């Protein structure tokens, strides 16, 4: 599990495409200190497993299914990546519970910067709208954010300058695809309600 609080922004150093997977070499200087081979790490919202760790970064294998279902398929060398190590039981909990299981890929349809914050709007797939509420949580590119507005097909978040500075969200442009994970608690609530309907 993760919290959606980014610990470091890394950089794609190399991508090797294989028949059924891809190997991504990621440059970083902080998270790799505590990272071990076999550990889970959140990369742009997707939970990956470290297959190699060095003093300059780490490598992770991405299965073809993960590439198909996430925006990792669009990665290029020198792209910036949001990184977060798996949460420990002794860690202080911030953000919200994040699994690293991407629910959808959604395009950015509005970016409106201001002095105090930047409004980012994404075109959320209709089947996920039921999981979002104003002031609720959502994870975009691995970042825990609070939902500001919801329309029939889109959500907006307001991002403070500090979050933009500490993540790769400041690199996003109109039309860019972002990894989306809706709030896990909303999924549990839906399951509970479905269970009651079955028993009723």
The domains found in the chain, sorted by start residue, are 8-85 (2.40.30.20), 104-192 (2.40.30.20)
Q: Is the pLDDT of residue 120 over 80?
A: yes
Q: Is the pLDDT of residue 49 over 60?
A: yes
Tell me the mean pLDDT in the region 47-74.
97
Tell me the mean pLDDT in the region 31-38.
97
What's the chain's average pLDDT? 92
pLDDT band at 200 (very low <50, low <70, confident <90, very high): low
- Could you tell me which of 86, 92, 90, 186 has the C-alpha nearest to residue 133? 186
Terminal CA-to-CA distance of the chain, rounded, Å?
A: 33
pLDDT band at 52 (very low <50, low <70, confident <90, very high): very high
The alpha-helical segments, DSSP class H, found in the chain are 31-34, 64-69, 126-129, 161-166, 184-199
pLDDT single digits (tens) 165-191: 999 999 999 999 999 999 877 665 666
Q: Is the pLDDT of residue 114 over 80?
A: yes
Question: Phi and psi of 137, rounded to 5°?
Answer: -100, 150
Q: What is the pLDDT of residue 197?
A: 56
pLDDT band at 97 (very low <50, low <70, confident <90, very high): confident
Tell me the mean pLDDT in the region 20-28.
97
* Residue appearing with tokens 């996920």: 128
> What residues have CB less than 8 Å from 25, skipping those under 6 apart?
12, 13, 14, 15, 16, 57, 58, 59
Q: What is the pLDDT of residue 20?
A: 93
- Could you tell me which of 191, 169, 165 has the C-alpha nearest to residue 179? 169
């Amino acid at each position: 599990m993760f919290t959606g609080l980014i610990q470091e922004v890394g950089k794609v150093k190399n991508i090797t495409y294989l028949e059924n997977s891809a190997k991504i070499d990621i440059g970083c200087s902080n998270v790799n200190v505590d990272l071990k081979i076999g550990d889970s790490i959140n990369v742009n919202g997707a939970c990956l497993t470290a297959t190699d760790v060095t003093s300059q970064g780490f490598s992770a294998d991405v299965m073809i299914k993960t590439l198909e279902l996430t925006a990792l398929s669009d990665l290029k060398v020198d792209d910036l990546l949001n990184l977060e190590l798996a949460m420990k039981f002794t860690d202080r909990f911030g953000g919200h519970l994040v699994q690293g299981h991407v629910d959808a890929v959604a395009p950015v349809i509005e970016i409106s910067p201001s002095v105090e914050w930047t409004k980012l709007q994404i075109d959320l797939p209709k089947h996920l709208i039921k999981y979002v509420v104003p002031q609720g949580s959502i994870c975009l590119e691995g970042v825990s954010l609070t939902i500001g507005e919801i329309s029939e097909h889109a959500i907006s978040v307001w991002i403070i300058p500090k979050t933009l500075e500490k993540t790769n969200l400041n690199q996003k442009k109109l039309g860019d695809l972002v990894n989306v994970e809706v709030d896990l608690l909303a999924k549990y609530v839906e399951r509970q309600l479905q269970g009651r309907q079955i028993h009723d």
